[in-house]
Amino acid sequence: MATKKQGDRIGAMVKEVEKLAKQLRVGLGKRAAATGLPKNLKAAADRLRKLAAALAAQVEKYAHEVRKELEGDGKPARKRPKARKKAPAPPVAAA
């Protein structure tokens, strides 16, 4: 079990990862908008920017989840009970 001091250090590191991922995502968007590339290169650059931004957003999301769990604010996912199968109806006897 992590001590309070270790938890604080881990939490601070996770916050920094969140911050850097957000800066990366925003920076990529700004740089891509400012480029003066030809149309075909711009389309390729836009695809790469979108992929990188999606990756940065995922890192930001997961880091946020880790931080919330470390802080104790994260609630575990509630399991749904399995649906019960109905017993088949008994066959009706022909008269």
Tell me, what's the pLDDT at 1?
47
Are 59 and 21 in contact by the 8 Å Cβ rule? The answer is yes
22-36 pLDDT, tens digit each: 888 788 777 767 766
Distance CA 62, CA 82 (A): 28
pLDDT classification of 55: cutoffs 50, 70, 90? confident
Helix (H) or strand (E) holding 33: helix 4-34
pTM summary value: 0.42
57-66 pLDDT, tens digit each: 888 888 888 8
CB neighbour class for 89 (10 Å; exposed up to 12, middle 13-18, buried from 19): exposed
Distance CA 58, CA 60 (A): 5
Place of tokens 């590339």: 37
User: Looking at this protein, which amino acid is placed at residue 12?
Assistant: A
59-92 pLDDT, tens digit each: 888 888 887 887 775 455 566 777 777 777 777 7
- C-alpha distances in Å from residue 88, one per residue of 26, 85, 93: 58, 9, 15
